[in-house]
Each structure stands twice: as C-alpha cells, then as structure tokens.
Amino acid sequence: MKKNLFYAALILLTVLLIAAEFFNKTAEKSLFAFDTVVEISVRGRECKKALEECENEIKRLDDELGVNGSGILRQYNENGASDRELDFLIERALSVSRETDGAFDVTMYPVTVLWGFTKNEKHVPDDGKIREALSACGYEKLLTGGAKVDFGAAAKGYAADRLVKILEKYHVKDALISIGGTVTVWSRVADVAVRSPDGEGYAAVIECENTVLSTSGGYERYFEEDGKSYVHIIDPKSGRPAESGIVSATVVTEDGFLSDALSTAFFVMGEEDAKAYLKEHSDVQAILITGDKMVVSSGLKIKNTDEKYTIEVLD
C-alpha cells in the first residue's frame, strides 16, 4: 500500500514538472532596430507566438517612427500627413515638453542634422547656422504641424509600451526586454545595471519589478573637436549639445514613453530642475550622475553602486 502511494506521488510529481515545463517555456531573440540592439526574452506557454509578434511590432515601429523609415513619420516630415498613432505620440510629446519647460523637444531635428549627428558628419557649425536651424524648431509648432519631428528620444520607450500589450495578449508569464538603453522588466523581478558613464563596468545595479528603466548618456554618441566633446542630445534653448553637468540620467517608471522621454529631458535640464520635477512626481524615480556624485530616488531598490560615487538620496 505504502509502495503504491509512493509511486502515485512520483507520477504526480513528474506530471507537474512536465506541465510546469510546458507552461513556462522560454523564447529569446536578439535583433537590430532603432539604431540599437534589441533583446527580448519571454516565458509562457505561447512564448513563441508572443516573441514573433514582438519582433514584427518592433520592425513596424522602427519603420513607422524612424526619420529614415518609409512610414508615417517620414510622410509627416515631407507633407504633414499623420495617423492616429502619430497624433497620439505628438500629443504625448507635447505634454512632456510642457512639463519639462521645453527640455524635451521632438522638433530639434534640423539642429541635430546641422551638427551632423544624423549622417555621421559631426562637426561644430557656426552660430548663424545654429540660429537659423533653431528658428525652424520649437514644440509649439507641433500644434500647427509646422515642424519636422524626430522621435529618437522616446520611440524606444513607446515600443516598450506596445510590446507589453502583446505580452498581455499571449498571457506571457514574465519577460525581460531591452531596446538599447530602455529596459522593461515585466511581471518579474530583475537586477538591471546602469552603465558607468565613463567607461567599463556599472555605476549602479537596481532591483526592478514591473517597470521600465531608461538611461540617456552623453557617452553613447558624441564627437570631439578642439579637445571639447559634444553629445547627441541638444539643449533646445541654445541649439547646442546639452552641457547641464549630468553625464547620465536614468528614469524608472511604469510608462515606457515617459521613462525614455524624461531620461533625455533630465539630461538637458540638469540636476536642480530634474530634482524639482522628481519632487512633484512620486511615480517617477531616477538616478542622476554628475561627475562623482550620484543622486538616487529613495524609492529605488539599489543593490550596488560603484564606490567612487558620493550618494545623495532624494526623498
């Protein structure tokens, strides 16, 4: 009798293990989109279908929202055409621009082109040219369709939001997705490292759960001329690469678009203005690195930091 019970338990355990394996299959994929490396890892019974749809969606968005794509953004920039998705994104961009006093501004495209960032012909333009390019910019022009748009600072975050919808549709158990500096930790806990702004290694490791983390850093794309370095993020007030003192801005919040857009905005705004924003918005957490100081929102679960930084905790 005891023996029978033992065998029954053994069979039950085996069935449970097989079922667990079946329901928790993992699928992973690495691809290139948005001018960066995209890595997707999903777990769940329909993980393959979910992964395939995520990949298609990433490619669609890259084409639709890239300045060099063949989709709606290109048409908007050429002849003002739009669609529901682009209208929605422009509305969201306007709202972040207003909240950040114009530090986030998707109409900086003519200035980015002038500095040669789009074609890898980076150089310092003369002041007159900067003023001229700047006069074609300004987020208020989005209201009348009178500006060229570049979603490079928020498209990765928007893509993260779209992928979450696919994860939900396929009842994915959990997922980890990184689109360049935008990392989505979905329905699980994961340690995410923030790259050291001055080279190898990590500045901090954060325990994330159900959130999106985006980092903007001047070390990603920049050039040097006459011993001075110029980053790819433009200060809309001057038309010149941002020099706010922040060398890396990480924003952690549930909304991917906001996480990506704000990390760019904080990089432009600098420490004091970014801190003022954070004090007003408890749903947004951040890590701001300025030289050898690291400002950390108290709500973040920091597991590790590079000891060379002095830590300032922001309540």
Binding residues (CB under 6 A) for ligand AMP: these are 104-106, 108, 112, 150, 152-153, 216, 232-234, 236, 260, 263-264, 268
Does 196 bind Mg ion (CB under 5 A)? Our answer is no
CB of residue 110 to ligand AMP, shortest distance in Å = 11
Kindly indicate which of the ranges 43-51, 61-69, 160-168, 253-261 contains the residues binding Mg ion, using the contact rule CB under 5 A. Answer: 253-261
Q: Which does 105 bind (CB under 5 to 8 A by kind): Mg ion, ligand AMP, none?
A: ligand AMP
Which residues in 132-161 contact Mg ion (CB under 5 A)? 153
Q: 233 touches which of ligand AMP, Mg ion, none (CB within 5 to 8 A by kind)?
A: ligand AMP
Task: Choose the contact partner of 253 out of Mg ion, ligand AMP, none; CB within 5 to 8 A by kind.
Answer: none
CA dist., res. 100 & res. 275, Å (int):
12
105 C-beta neighbours (distance < 10 Å), count: 30
Q: Which does 104 bind (CB under 5 to 8 A by kind): ligand AMP, Mg ion, none?
A: ligand AMP
Q: Answer positive or negative: Cα dihedral of 171, 66, 249, 219.
A: positive
CB of 207 to ligand AMP, least distance (A): 23
In terms of Cα–Cα distance, which of 58, 23, 20 is closest to 40? 58
Of 172 and 261, the one with the shorter C-beta distance to Mg ion is 261
The answer for residues whose C-beta is within 8 angstroms of residue 256's C-beta and 6 or more apart is 156, 157, 158, 159, 160, 161, 164, 182, 184, 212, 214
Among 112, 264, 285, 297, contact with Mg ion (rule: CB under 5 A): 264
Residues forming beta bridges with residue 209, ordered by sequence position:
189
- Closest to ligand AMP by CB, 108 vs 274, is 108
Which residue minimizes CB distance to ligand AMP? Answer: 152
Closest to 182 measured CA to CA, from 210, 215, 208: 215
